[in-house]
Structure 1
Amino acid sequence: MSPRHDDERAGPQEQSGQTEQTGQTEQGGPAEHVPAATDRRSLPRRILALAVPALGALVAEPLFLLADTAIIGRLGVEELAGAALGLTVMQTVTGLMIFLAYSTTPQVARSVGAGRMPRALAAGRDGVWLSVIIGVVLAAAGLAAGEALLQLMGADGSMLDQAWAYLLWSLPGIPAILLVFAATGVLRGLQDTTTPLVVAGCGFGANILLNLILVHPVGLGVAGAAMGTSIAQWGMALVYLTLLVPRLREHAVPLAADPMGLRKAFSVGSWMLLRTLSLRAAMVATVLVATDLGPDTLAAHQVTFTVFSTLAFILDALAIAAQALIGKELGAHRLETAARLTRTMVLWGVGFGVITGAAIAVVGPLSAPLFTPDDAVASAIGAALLVVAAAQPIAGLVFVLDGVLMGAGDVRYLALAGLVNLALYAPALYWISSAGLTGTASVVWLWVGYGVVFIGARALTLGVRARGEAWMVGGDAA
């Protein structure tokens, strides 16, 4: 469970001196005056304490998918191809639902900062209930339309059978996956990223063991891999519930969802979903252009994007730390501390971008032949990675500012900015698709478009917002 917070002790709240945060409890009575005590650790130590475990937990989810792929790959080509289609559907759905973690964290963190633990836990509870409701709806939709969707994606015959087997037995795990997202967001808001790391690590180990048993010795094949992953996800979900339910009871927070709380969670989540959709749209549009430019361009782009995504874990860990810390400081009305945290994390984000960029610039062109025996494609990968290297400091700034504004609960701006970013990116992408580019030039310009124009547009829209003060709203409600 998360470490005990000083915010739970009764006493005056710090707000540029010694003032109190007043209000109403969830039951309508006077709010408990609980302090939002200042964390005595240095800002770098506070950032690292959250970011390092968050990085480990972020890596766990791709490992689930990697384990499935490796185990299924031993069954045969048709099984692997079918499972790949099922995995694509699952990755797309769950990828869009990641907002359940990112929207829950700032709501919980603000109330923690304001010294109102019952309200923080109530916000987390409502986020968890919303995740279960959405998960059940998505699982039912998958049961009704999943097979038809796979057919639309081009699956037929034996491949369709394998794809549907994987997707069918993955559907029971969707509510658990989304519950884990929301519960992870709750613990991050409580300033605890270590527990999600431990739960994810244990879940990953259980997933491998279950899949090894169900796929081969038991002989369930592709369906067994999906079953194993679903069981592991439910195990993780139950662990989170055993951690959160006693804490709810300790603070006399009802277990049942509050309709108004659900409505607020849905409102915040819908803006976050729109933001996520804008990012996915940019990625998909880039892939479509790469496909149109030819198989060599698509292959080089895929490798380059995989490297970019892997490095993004480091920057995303900083963003998660930003969400939790900024939310808590704003909830406690410590606006100057929030501003200092923002400046520090911006420097860290850009600094890590410089470091990772330098590493890519040195290693990328040398390692490109490891991804393909084709000299032309390897040359294109090496050149594209140099563009990625140059763009890493901008990416570092973007990830951190994204986390800062999420932590502030500035979700409406993030969603609308996402649409602006797409509008700025579209002309560049159109030019790249129609300029008659080939070979290395096509991949390089594609990554100038995505890594410089699109990421640069995000840096511009986020930077303009962060320089102002409209997002710095104190208190436990943004």
Structure 2
Amino acid sequence: MSQSTVTTDRVASPRRIAALALPALVVLAAEPLYILVDTAVVGHLGRVPLAAVAVGGTVMTLTAWLGTVVAYGTTGRAARRFGAGDRAAAVAEGVQSSWLALGVGLLVVVGMQFGGGALAGALAGGGEVGQAAAEWLRIAAFGAPGLLLAAAGNGWLRGVQDTRRPLFFVVGPNLLSAVLCPVLVYPVGMGLIGSAVANVIAQTLSGVLFAAALVAERVALRPRPRVIRQQLVLSRDLLIRGVAFQASFLSATAVAARFGAATVGAHQIAVQLWFFAALVLDALAIAAQALVGAALGAGDAAVARALARRIAWFGAVCGAAFAGLALAGAGVVPTWFTPEQAVHEQALVAWPWFVAMLPLAGVVFALDGVLIGAGDIRYLRNLTVAGALGGFLPAIWLAYAFDLGLGGIWAGLMLFVVIRLVALLLRLRSGAWAVTGAVQSEPSTQARA
């Protein structure tokens, strides 16, 4: 066995992947688990509060996707510098991304105070649900700066191969908030607003903890506009990709709301479970970003390719396991969130699609992480936009036009996943993504590779 093969097997071993993926899994699961608790607590207030959280929560998901852009962009850049042996430069990427996160978070707070009501009303089609969603959204928006700071912190810590400290910085605040949520909603008597306040507490505390970790590194903390501009430029494709995702899921919620409160309530339950599954399966993508970025930063394309193949297989296995759990809970899980029988019936319409997508999604999310770690963001951007415009969005609005209900919406999501799976496997096979170097190449360079 050659030295190269030994090195590849060691770095791309299941143990090495698991050492990064398992702590990341807990971190990724903490926020959606809290959202599921929040949904269950609010669901017992009645159909209208549940629908309001569905609409308001979908809007706040946009902020979470901005956080994903910040985290993923930072991980790739920091991992390459760390792989090249420059930890200080990797941490410096985290400083600048944290300034960027804070600025964007404050803009979200201001924007939601002035425009959140109109956006919530447009998604809900007005009425009682729209008013309740707007009230929830204006308060929940104050958690955006902390949420985005935590995303930036996760990004640079993953880049330096540290997925353990984020366990404390994310899980602790979310556990506190999970206890506060039912207390604020019921005994304190805040109702739906108590849910929003609990969100803000968790997100702000988490952001403060990640900021303190940067201070502890004893690096220069001043903002550097030139580096921030570079991060913005290099993240533009992730931003466009995120907008495509958000347009699709916002449209799905808007169409579901027009089928009635029971349908949008069921959609909220199913889509939050989908987001939970996506983030849990994304633990492999986090490991891929850190390990592939470091391997390419160190100039070792063979290790990067071996990682990509193994992580894709792990994604398929984990997705299939999750699908088995979802199938077993089909008749039980929806009852955890609301006693409304009409909502249960609608949830069962989406359930077969949800179960069938999970094994495919496991591969898709894993390969997304490989390409993000490699800096092959332009390809991911084009693929996501094409899948949204050519598959998901047309299917959603056809479901509305032909009154296909929730099943039509979720068939569109299945089409979106299949399109991405085929294109990602073709890209993996081509090898064009495996460009080495301490700094990610510009997209034009990657396109020629």
Pairwise mapping of residues 61-76 of structure 1 onto structure 2 (< 5 A)? 61-69=31-39
Deviation readout 1:396-455 (Å, 9 max, x if unpaired): 2211111100111112221121111123316962795389576xxx6656544421x211
Question: 84-93 or 195-204: which moved more?
Answer: 84-93
Question: CA separation of 1:225/1:335 partners in 2, compared to 1, >3 Å: closer, same or farther?
Answer: same
Query: What's the offset of the Cα at 1:309?
Result: 3.4
1:7 maps to what in 2? none
2:310 maps to what in 1? 344
Pairwise mapping of residues 29-68 of structure 1 onto structure 2 (< 5 A)? 43-68=13-38
2:115 maps to what in 1? 145
**Distance (Å, rounded) in 1 between the aligned partners of 2:196 and 2:400:** 42
2:384 maps to what in 1? 418
**Distance (Å, rounded) in 2 between the aligned partners of 1:295 and 1:172:** 27
1:394 maps to what in 2? 360
Query: What's the offset of the Cα at 1:235?
Result: 2.1
Q: Which amino acid aligns with 1:188?
A: R
**Distance (Å, rounded) in 1 between the aligned partners of 2:333 and 2:42:** 27
1:204 maps to what in 2? 174
1:468 maps to what in 2? 430
1:31 maps to what in 2? none
Indicate if the aligned counterparts of 2:12 and 2:303 stay in contact, CA closer than 8 A. Answer: no
**Distance (Å, rounded) in 1 between the aligned partners of 2:192 and 2:396:** 40
**Distance (Å, rounded) in 2 between the aligned partners of 1:166 and 1:434:** 27
**Distance (Å, rounded) in 1 between the aligned partners of 2:343 and 2:192:** 36
Question: 209-218 or 230-239: which moved more?
Answer: 209-218
Query: What's the offset of the Cα at 1:373?
Result: 7.9
Is 1:454–2:416 an aligned residue pair? yes
Please give the secondary structure, in 2, of the residue aligned with 1:98: helix
Unaligned runs of 5+ in 1: 1-14, 18-36
Query: What's the offset of the Cα at 1:47?
Result: 1.1
Deviation readout 1:167-216 (Å, 9 max, x if unpaired): 44433322111101111111111112222122212101332455566666
Indicate if the aligned counterparts of 2:158 and 2:290 stay in contact, CA closer than 8 A. Answer: yes
Question: 386-395 or 428-437: which moved more?
Answer: 428-437
Pairwise mapping of residues 9-20 of structure 1 onto structure 2 (< 5 A)? none
Choose from 137, 160, 184 the match for 1:190: 160
Indicate if the aligned counterparts of 1:97 and 1:273 stay in contact, CA closer than 8 A. Answer: no
Query: What's the offset of the Cα at 1:340?
Result: 0.6
Question: 223-232 or 455-464: which moved more?
Answer: 223-232
1:178 maps to what in 2? 148
2:443 maps to what in 1? none
Question: 166-175 or 56-65: which moved more?
Answer: 166-175
Q: Which amino acid aligns with 1:198?
A: F
Q: Which amino acid aligns with 1:258?
A: R
Question: 323-332 or 54-63: which moved more?
Answer: 54-63
Deviation readout 1:447-471 (Å, 9 max, x if unpaired): 44421x2111111222222222332
Q: Which amino acid aligns with 1:450?
A: L
**Distance (Å, rounded) in 2 between the aligned partners of 1:357 and 1:395:** 10
2:70 maps to what in 1? 100
Q: Which amino acid aligns with 1:335?
A: A
Question: 38-47 or 273-282: which moved more?
Answer: 38-47
Pairwise mapping of residues 290-369 of structure 1 onto structure 2 (< 5 A)? 304-361=270-327, 363=328, 367=332
Question: CA separation of 1:436/1:224 partners in 2, compared to 1, >3 Å: closer, same or farther?
Answer: closer
Indicate if the aligned counterparts of 2:399 and 2:408 stay in contact, CA closer than 8 A. Answer: no
Query: What's the offset of the Cα at 1:356?
Result: 3.1
Higher gyration radius (CA):
1
Deviation readout 1:26-83 (Å, 9 max, x if unpaired): xxxxxxxxxxx99956610111111112121112112443455566678788777766
- Normalising by structure 1, we get a TM-score of 0.77
**Distance (Å, rounded) in 1 between the aligned partners of 2:347 and 2:46:** 29
Query: What's the offset of the Cα at 1:133?
Result: 1.0
Q: Which amino acid aligns with 1:257?
A: P
Query: What's the offset of the Cα at 1:317?
Result: 1.2
**Distance (Å, rounded) in 2 between the aligned partners of 1:300 and 1:140:** 31
Higher helix share: 2
2:86 maps to what in 1? 116
- Normalising by structure 2, we get a TM-score of 0.81
Count of residues paired in the alignment: 434
Indicate if the aligned counterparts of 1:297 and 1:377 stay in contact, CA closer than 8 A. Answer: no
Query: What's the offset of the Cα at 1:368?
Result: 8.0
Choose from 99, 102, 106 the match for 1:129: 99
Indicate if the aligned counterparts of 1:364 and 1:382 stay in contact, CA closer than 8 A. Answer: no
Q: Which amino acid aligns with 1:261?
A: V
**Distance (Å, rounded) in 1 between the aligned partners of 2:265 and 2:190:** 33
Unaligned runs of 5+ in 2: 441-449
Identity of aligned residues (%): 35
Deviation readout 1:287-317 (Å, 9 max, x if unpaired): 5555667888767665554544333233211
Structure ranking higher on relative contact order (CA contacts 8 Å, 6+ apart): 2
Query: What's the offset of the Cα at 1:262?
Result: 0.1
Indicate if the aligned counterparts of 2:47 and 2:261 stay in contact, CA closer than 8 A. Answer: no
1:260 maps to what in 2? 226
Please give the secondary structure, in 1, of the residue aligned with 2:245: helix
Question: 196-205 or 232-241: which moved more?
Answer: 232-241
1:24 maps to what in 2? none
Cα-Cα RMSD: 3.9
**Distance (Å, rounded) in 1 between the aligned partners of 2:270 and 2:181:** 30
